[in-house]
Structure 1
């Protein structure tokens, strides 16, 4: 079997192959590749999670749609004490029609979320009031208002008073006025906003059943290598696959919709067949990106006519990563409009995570219409050693004192990454203690 150097020298390069790029330049290439979102679709709320809004999210109604009680207690009109009106069936409960209007000096029971009757000036909290039987009025008989005709509306027979030490509620207290949160037609979220569970809740609250979103890029994950086990501990010279379980969640956090995971052995023809049969917008592969005797990704890309955009990045770990544009001749129904890409990740787990953060994240965010993540900087709590000519991505925790590097950050290790709150981007030469350093978020979903 030929040595790796000889093997690499004999492998033709896909069209567009170039020298290794710096880490910042490689990120720019990935951003440019995804600069045009794939398309727009209208989908039910339940299918929109993880997509990006393709248009501003506007309210279809006032929120709240009517004056609403913020507490359990009594709706009151005017100063105390109040005549407590006996409730009709369902009156004062959430989900029921609004109660009859209150006259000055009247009160009625009310529950949180119930519509506030006209005439109410405030809500008196349940713990602040006490209902007492009213004393009969002389000459009228208990429960009869002077001058009341037979069959007229019953008169309140109970008085609502403040408990000792409690002051009367000020005007409007514990009433959520109509339109307090938003008005009908008001734009609440901008196009490009990521649809999170909270966004889905807001969309429902303002009356939406569907959302117009950018189509999430479909991704097929190809896990390459004969040496990988799918269950149990490593044994007999074979190792447990860590990337198959790890990457789907990472890619989904970047906006991808995973359509499948295929395992492909160290066989060039099998890899070519897998690449040709995939219909995903983006194919993500693990392993076979370097120049080993069984690394067939480069020759497979040559065979299918791919164009390399990135072929190696000056970063540690993960430098043998690649980004390629795939041909669409096999897809005549979308030829000319369809754009397909391949992101090649190294086989070592932490190196693959670095490559995903470098190339997959900006590509997938762009294709899905989601704004690129804003970089942020924190102070280095300790010196971060650098490489003379390569950027380093270092797992860090982020306590108040700044970025603290974690151990176990070798290319094949995941222990440090599992504890990390971010990846510090350490430029060539390193970062001194107390100096600012850029940090990338670590996917957590």
Structure 2
């Protein structure tokens, strides 16, 4: 018989299936037009197209002199970066010019300052045709697609958008995530005492949410009250609602019954993994998702990385992340029926277990870089996929 307060593992979904279902449980959020200052971390909803050529005119790539023909040249003026169009150069003429300045028509090349010899107004040096000139349209032509839809917007993308003259981008915005941490036994300050447990999940969730590309709107602590939980969920307008500590089947676990009472569809009801098997995911008709996280801290972390990250990627218009494979020196034993999630440190030799992997422990996760995904079965895994403990990190390659 299953233990009281725990969902029977045989009724739970395989870990990979649960992750895929979490990604498929929703659709990307509706696109919005945002100023560049608010677009970092969002996803391009439409291709990034240059409205004009960049650069729009031929420009100097160096501080120096725009010259025509072979030297020596007579310096007849100066072109600053903000100068307008300058009259065409004649043979034997030169203009002093700064980086980014528009080169006059007829320019053979730009003689950089370090190689120029100036005697009065006479300039000496050697120039190769086209030297140090950024040609009009060199970076892109008008109407050219620079990036496809689905690209995550980072500072370099914002810089590119500004460089081609855009002030706004059409993006899939960051999902809004609210978290409710339940438990009469939890304390938020100081050490725990008899009958008390220091809340470790509440301080952990905002960083996880932000690193997963979403916005944490609130972390609220609730008592073990069904009505209090129902009211909190019903009144929450976030795209994703995280509930920790009420996802099992004990007398203080009200999430599943509460979701049924509110009319939500339970998409995932337990995952065959250790730790974290009581996790759940439900969906409302309006598209809001509720993810149930176990009350033990490491189990809650594994559940967020399993269901939360997958769901948030879909809401952001991104595919389910592919997990890299790493060798495991010494190997790791599998569980007979459940996927094991084991904290490991990533080294040049592979993924090395760090220990302290109990469902209530965060010591192992804090010392680790990733979770090794050990498939169920009696064999010892000598390689495993890696689930990064930082949802925003670039995957490793081996």
- State the TM-score, normalizing by the size of structure 2: 0.88
Shift of 1:233: 4.0
Is 1:274 the counterpart of 2:241? The answer is: no
Residue 349 (structure 2) aligns with: 401
Shift of 1:307: 2.3
Q: Could you tell me whether the CA contact under 8 Å between 1:85 and 1:108 is conserved in 2?
A: yes
Residue 67 (structure 1) aligns with: 58
- Compared CA separation, residues 7 and 401, structure 1 to 2 (3 A): closer
Match of 2:359 among 408, 411, 427: 411
Shift of 1:248: 2.1
Return the alpha-carbon distance in structure 2 between the equivalents of residues 313 and 117 of structure 1: 68
Q: Could you tell me whether the CA contact under 8 Å between 1:77 and 1:121 is conserved in 2?
A: yes
Write out aligned runs for 1:57-206 (5 A). Answer: 57-87=48-78, 92-133=79-120, 158-162=121-125, 168-206=126-164
Return the alpha-carbon distance in structure 2 between the equivalents of residues 187 and 382 of structure 1: 49
SS of aligned partner of 2:331: coil
Q: Could you tell me whether the CA contact under 8 Å between 2:212 and 2:392 is conserved in 1?
A: no
Match of 2:25 among 33, 36, 44: 33
Q: Deviations over 1:210-261 (max 9, x none)?
A: 2112243322111112333333444555343332232223223334333322
Residue 315 (structure 1) aligns with: 273
SS of aligned partner of 1:31: helix
Residue 262 (structure 1) aligns with: 220
Structure with greater strand percent: 2
Larger radius of gyration: 1
Residue 213 (structure 1) aligns with: 171
Q: Deviations over 1:421-441 (max 9, x none)?
A: 3332221246544x4x32233
- Compared CA separation, residues 23 and 432, structure 1 to 2 (3 A): closer
Is 1:374 the counterpart of 2:322? The answer is: yes
- Compared CA separation, residues 177 and 414, structure 1 to 2 (3 A): farther
Match of 2:258 among 288, 300, 313: 300
- Compared CA separation, residues 107 and 407, structure 1 to 2 (3 A): farther
Match of 1:226 among 184, 195, 200: 184
Shift of 1:46: 2.1
Shift of 1:5: 4.9
Aligned pairs, how many?
389
Is 1:350 the counterpart of 2:298? The answer is: yes
**Bigger shift: 49-58 or 419-428?**
419-428
Q: Could you tell me whether the CA contact under 8 Å between 1:382 and 1:403 is conserved in 2?
A: no
Return the alpha-carbon distance in structure 1 between the equivalents of residues 192 and 71 of structure 2: 77
Return the alpha-carbon distance in structure 2 between the equivalents of residues 431 and 106 of structure 1: 77
Shift of 1:64: 1.7
- Compared CA separation, residues 76 and 395, structure 1 to 2 (3 A): farther
Unaligned segments of structure 1, at least 5 residues: 10-17, 134-157, 163-167, 329-337
Return the alpha-carbon distance in structure 2 between the equivalents of residues 363 and 37 of structure 1: 10
Residue 242 (structure 1) aligns with: 200
Q: Could you tell me whether the CA contact under 8 Å between 1:77 and 1:119 is conserved in 2?
A: yes
Return the alpha-carbon distance in structure 2 between the equivalents of residues 293 and 277 of structure 1: 24
Q: Deviations over 1:250-282 (max 9, x none)?
A: 223334333322211122221111112112222
Residue 43 (structure 1) aligns with: 34
Aligned-pair RMSD on alpha carbons? 2.6
Return the alpha-carbon distance in structure 1 between the equivalents of residues 365 and 108 of structure 2: 57
SS of aligned partner of 1:383: strand
Return the alpha-carbon distance in structure 2 between the equivalents of residues 54 and 367 of structure 1: 12
Is 1:20 the counterpart of 2:7? The answer is: no
- Compared CA separation, residues 210 and 159, structure 1 to 2 (3 A): same
- Compared CA separation, residues 116 and 425, structure 1 to 2 (3 A): farther
Write out aligned runs for 1:315-334 (5 A). Answer: 315-326=273-284, 328=285
